[in-house]
Amino acid sequence: MKKHQGLLAIAIVFLVLVIDQVIKIWVKTHMCLGEQIDITDWFKIEFIENKGMAWGMTFFNKYVLSIFRIVAVCWIGWYIKREICRGTRTLYIVLLSLVLAGAAGNIIDSMFYGLVFSASSPYYVSYAVPFGQGYAPFLLGKVVDMFYFPLIDTTLPSWLPIWGGKEFTFFDPVFNFADSCISVSVVLMIIFCRKELSTLGQKFEEKK
């Protein structure tokens, strides 16, 4: 059982990383920055880049953020291994592996994209360059995002206070496959793995 869970975790991480990187590299090398492809009215491929965390958020210096990501991925990897040894439910291992893979996917962008690609531009498509001659040094590469779901795109009624007459879009953030793996996994863990999460919380409390 433990061996099977370990192989499953490795397979999930590998598969997610391959899918994530294939999508990102295709977008970066086939679309200009800011270019948009309309799949439907509510699903679009829009090429943007960000320096921050998931959904384009930024709270830390880029170096600090990249190092934090690497430490977090290492800790999650260690935690998954420990949970497998403890005989934790397979569902929990699967969801943790998706979180690990998603975090690692965005780390790859930060670590290597700046070294191997030219800078993206609204006027031309990025291209591969000799290693180390890209647009940014190690750990300072930008994360590629592309999925945009404007499910609601409307103008708010003029009678509303403050926001009346303004454009309103839901869902506005642009994200990537790695972000979605993290977000969906966290939501599913909250719903289906509360026992495991409560145990993790208790262990943190005991260490304080």
Tokens of 165: 């007459």
For 45-103, the pLDDT digits (tens) are: 999 998 765 555 555 677 888 888 899 999 999 999 999 999 999 999 999 999 999 99
Judge residue 94's burial from the number of C-beta atoms within 10 Å of its C-beta, 0-12 exposed, 13-18 middle, 19 or more buried: middle
Report, as an integer, the average pLDDT of 140-167: 86
Single out the catalytic residue among 20, 109, 145, 172. Answer: 145
pLDDT at 124: 96
pLDDT tops 80 at residue 206: no
* pLDDT band per the 50, 70, 90 thresholds, residue 27: very high
Whether 145 is catalytic is: yes
**pTM passes above 0.85:** yes
Q: Helix axis angle, 90-108 relative to 177-192, nearest 10°? A: 150
Distances (CA, A) of 45 to 31, 41, 82: 10, 11, 38
Domain boundaries, the chain: 2-34+51-144+180-207
Name the least confident of 21-30, 180-189, 194-203: 194-203
pLDDT at 51: 76
Report, as an integer, the average pLDDT of 122-136: 97
pLDDT at 134: 97
Single out the catalytic residue among 41, 109, 153, 179. Answer: 179
Q: What CA–CA distance (Å, rounded) separates 105 from 99?
A: 10
Give 72 or 160, the one with higher predicted confidence: 72
pLDDT at 28: 98
